[in-house]
Structure 1
Amino acid sequence: MHPPLFGGVNAAILTALKPDLSPDLDRMAAHARWLLANGCNGLGMLGTTGEANSLGLFERKAVLEGLIARGIPAAKLMPGTGCSNLSDTVELTLHARAQGCRGVLVLPPFYYKAPSDDGLFAYFSEVVNRVGGGIALYLYHFPQQSAVPFTLDLIGRLLKAFPGAIQGVKDSSGDYANMKAMVDAFAADGFEVYSGSDEYLQRILADGGAGCITAASNANSHWGGIVYAKRTGAEADAAQAMLTATRKAATSVPLISGLREIIARSTGDDGWRTIRPPHLPLNAAQGDAIWAAWDAAGALPLPGLTQAKAAE
């Protein structure tokens, strides 16, 4: 069985923005380089944390092309390509394949609520057939956000109908029992299960999962890298405790805004606070609170971040 394509720690990377709210590719690429040098094996870009659904189709393509043009290896990137319609999903997936990406993360069609498994099977059948192979599809299970879950039965049907096309899943439900059920049902056949929650990294690796794709990895990837490398023992346990503490700190305020605040304060770069509406930057009290929470966890200063930015 081949090793997982994105095995390890993958940051759901923030999308840097300019004052006019257009993507800031230089700032984002610098952050990507730091992540890949500090514990990340790959980058899940243009997902929830990357505000993909606040960006237009042309902008999403430009962000992917811009990172690659700035030296971020396409093989390290897993762009989100799932949209609420079939045509855009296929177009973004084909674009990612053309840029040399090995896999994409695909939301279900999320506008219409409570679709049947038959309806979702028909949708993903169209995606697979229209894409035609050459790039791995990863399902994005985030029912709290999309309101459209992937059931075990649906995953099993897709794997049977399209062997080799559906490579894995990111489970952001926060329900470890569901993650474990996916591992137990499908991992033996090479299906890659990634936790979307930092607190489960050590556990899912022990149970046969592939790793994680998480928002907090934007700032805690140093410790995620230790967990992935060591797996067990005192050092791994301490690093996992740090992942759990920083995840709790990150979710104590609006998550995307909070991570932007941590990066902004760590680098001295106020531009990281820029965010697209309807999201808003943190207010001063919220910013002080999340900074204090990360500090209390012992996670500050972020290893190598200030120095890395100063050297740009």
Structure 2
Amino acid sequence: MKDALYGGVNAAVLTPMHADLTPDIARMADHARWLLANGCTGLGLLGTTGEAASFGLHERRAILEGLIAAGIPAAKLMPGTGCASLGDTVELTRHARDMGCPGVLMLPPFYYKAPSDDGLFAYFSAVIERVGPGIKIYLYHFPQQSAVPFSLDLIDRLLTAFPDTIKGVKDSSGDYANMLAMVERFAARGFEVYTGSDEYLQQILAAGGAGCITAASNANCQYGGIVYAKRTGPEADAAQAKMTATRRAATSVPLIPGLRQVIAHARGDDAWLTIRPPHLPLSAEQAKTVIAAWEAAGALPLPGLDGLAKAAE
């Protein structure tokens, strides 16, 4: 897809924390700079991997403001703004717009289960009307986590009603057939489809999708960058194989603490292991498992960070 706002590789960025569990903006900004220098075209903040649901409204605003103040370009950021509360969703979306972000990633209201498409259409209509113009909305389809899927008919209805606002989707369902159906039905209308699954990047690009927004891109973005640039051929195929292998490595243990373990290891910085409950750090055995899996995939050390871990030792 040409001219996609976030076309390419977007990391679902981890949120480092201080020992008191407050957000560590300096570490996060440093990681964001590394991601943008190593294959990422954009950064998804405060999504599932960023533990958004563990942060309050004011913390989420402060994280976005802190990163931009640290020099991370607002134009590269896609903050997650979807909350169970309509009011909080509106406030966070307005804030992202006012800070200069082109778009936001929006979960459906996820507390009340099995809402009708009519109910979801009413919710998004209310959000869009209250936020006003100037920001694009990307729908976050992750039914395993939210238990509230976006049907194709609902997307069609939203896109028809709000063609200047509804811009795309992140599909984290793991169902490639669903991703492909979104591309085939909506891409011609400028709707950007991003896979949330690393293993499908090459396929979705070939089908007319816009790229990926993935958790493992926190540490495998260099390969995603090659796939996005080359698309086909031996180099792209090898890079896609690395993406698939690293995704499997990332899911060999609980995903979020596992990725923190990989970054801590690569940077020689155990502060990355701090995580808000109910998530917990990995056990010693799990830590060995995930590092061994990334090493077996040939993805460690990370480019530009290998010297840091050695220095820390």
The TM-score, its normalising length taken from structure 1, stands at: 0.98
1:255 paired to 2:255:
yes
> Which position in structure 1 is the counterpart of 2:42?
42
Shift of 1:306: 3.5
Following the alignment from structure 2 to structure 1, what is the Cα–Cα distance between the partners of residues 153 and 307?
A: 48
> Which position in structure 2 is the counterpart of 1:208?
208
Question: Does the 8 Å contact 1:34/1:308 carry over to 2?
Answer: no
1:110 paired to 2:110:
yes
1:292 paired to 2:292:
yes
Following the alignment from structure 2 to structure 1, what is the Cα–Cα distance between the partners of residues 308 and 176?
A: 35
Following the alignment from structure 1 to structure 2, what is the Cα–Cα distance between the partners of residues 117 and 100?
A: 31
Question: Does the 8 Å contact 1:84/1:108 carry over to 2?
Answer: yes
1:184 paired to 2:184:
yes
Following the alignment from structure 2 to structure 1, what is the Cα–Cα distance between the partners of residues 137 and 289?
A: 38
Q: Where do 4+ consecutive residues of structure 1 move more than 3 Å? A: 306-311
> Which position in structure 1 is the counterpart of 2:265?
265
Q: How does 1:3-14 map to 2 (within 5 A)?
A: 3-14=3-14
Q: Deviations over 1:126-169 (max 9, x none)?
A: 01111111000000000000000000000000011111110000
> Which position in structure 1 is the counterpart of 2:163?
163
Following the alignment from structure 1 to structure 2, what is the Cα–Cα distance between the partners of residues 308 and 196?
A: 29
Following the alignment from structure 2 to structure 1, what is the Cα–Cα distance between the partners of residues 182 and 242?
A: 26
> Which position in structure 2 is the counterpart of 1:85?
85
> Which position in structure 2 is the counterpart of 1:305?
305
Following the alignment from structure 1 to structure 2, what is the Cα–Cα distance between the partners of residues 87 and 309?
A: 44
Following the alignment from structure 2 to structure 1, what is the Cα–Cα distance between the partners of residues 308 and 150?
A: 39
Question: Does the 8 Å contact 2:74/2:99 carry over to 1?
Answer: yes
Shift of 1:2: 6.0
Following the alignment from structure 1 to structure 2, what is the Cα–Cα distance between the partners of residues 18 and 310?
A: 23
Identity value in percent: 76
Following the alignment from structure 1 to structure 2, what is the Cα–Cα distance between the partners of residues 232 and 292?
A: 29
Following the alignment from structure 1 to structure 2, what is the Cα–Cα distance between the partners of residues 296 and 123?
A: 46
Following the alignment from structure 2 to structure 1, what is the Cα–Cα distance between the partners of residues 309 and 100?
A: 28
User: Where does structure 2 lack aligned partners over 5 or more consecutive residues?
Assistant: none
Q: How does 1:274-289 map to 2 (within 5 A)?
A: 274-289=274-289
Shift of 1:308: 7.3
Computed over aligned residues only, the root mean square deviation of the Cα atoms, in angstroms, reads: 1.3
Shift of 1:225: 0.3
Q: Secondary structure at the match of 2:219?
A: helix
Shift of 1:307: 4.5
User: Where does structure 1 lack aligned partners over 5 or more consecutive residues?
Assistant: none
> Which position in structure 2 is the counterpart of 1:126?
126
Q: Which amino acid aligns with 2:97?
A: R
The alignment covers a number of residue pairs equal to: 311
Following the alignment from structure 1 to structure 2, what is the Cα–Cα distance between the partners of residues 112 and 106?
A: 16
Q: How does 1:134-173 map to 2 (within 5 A)?
A: 134-173=134-173
Shift of 1:305: 2.2
Question: Does the 8 Å contact 1:249/1:294 carry over to 2?
Answer: yes
> Which position in structure 2 is the counterpart of 1:193?
193
**Given the superposition, is the C-alpha separation of residues 135 and 309 from structure 1 closer, same or farther in structure 2, using an over 3 Å criterion?**
farther
> Which position in structure 2 is the counterpart of 1:244?
244
Question: Does the 8 Å contact 1:30/1:309 carry over to 2?
Answer: no
Q: Which amino acid aligns with 2:269?
A: D
